[in-house]
């Protein structure tokens, strides 16, 4: 899954949940379960997710929702050295999906 979010420093939990097409409760749950998700909180306590948080959420979403990992399996996978390779492979896939999307849009314009 590739998430399309505007280029900003911080994203609200509502924006993040909408981009992933999930409930905000799932984002909060993953935040508790995965150390890699560390949104900042403003004075009111509202979560502000960074681009790094989004990248980590994309990887968690990929492992849990698309590849069928259990939460424990995803945690282990993230902690293992293999996760670096998975992340780089995931980023390559994400870039290829962006290229595909661009090409499809170009084709529609022809």
Q: What is the CATH number of the domain that holds 99?
A: 1.10.1660.10
**pLDDT score recorded for residue 12:** 95
Distance CA 82, CA 65 (A): 19
Q: Is residue 62 part of a domain?
A: yes
Q: What is the layout of strands, in order, in the sheet containing 47-49?
A: 11-12, 47-49, 40-41
**pLDDT score recorded for residue 82:** 57
Comparing 28-37, 63-72, 88-97, the range with the smallest average pLDDT is: 88-97
Q: Is residue 20 part of a domain?
A: yes
Q: Is residue 1 part of a domain?
A: no
Q: Is residue 89 part of a domain?
A: yes
Reported confidence tier of residue 37, pLDDT bands at 50, 70, 90: very high
**pLDDT score recorded for residue 93:** 82
Q: Is residue 5 part of a domain?
A: no
Reported confidence tier of residue 88, pLDDT bands at 50, 70, 90: confident
What is the residue range of 29's domain?
11-109
Q: How many domains in the chain?
A: 1
Q: Is residue 19 part of a domain?
A: yes
Of residues 49 and 92, more confidence is placed in 49
Indicate whether 90 pLDDT > 90: no
Indicate whether 83 pLDDT > 70: no
**pLDDT score recorded for residue 86:** 67
What mean pLDDT do residues 77-97 have?
A: 75
Question: Which of 32, 71, 37 has the alpha carbon at shortest distance from 56?
Answer: 37
Q: Is residue 58 part of a domain?
A: yes
């Amino acid at each position: 899954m590739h998430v399309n979010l505007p280029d900003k420093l911080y994203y609200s939990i509502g924006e993040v949940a909408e981009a992933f097409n999930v409930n905000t409760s799932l984002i909060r749950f993953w935040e508790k379960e995965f150390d890699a998700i560390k949104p900042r909180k403003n004075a009111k306590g509202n979560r502000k997710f960074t681009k790094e948080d989004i990248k980590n959420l994309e990887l968690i979403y990929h492992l849990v929702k698309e590849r069928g990992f259990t939460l424990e399996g995803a945690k282990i996978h993230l902690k293992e050295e293999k996760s670096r390779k998975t992340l780089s492979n995931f980023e390559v896939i994400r870039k290829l999906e962006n290229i595909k999307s661009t090409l499809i849009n170009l084709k529609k314009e022809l």
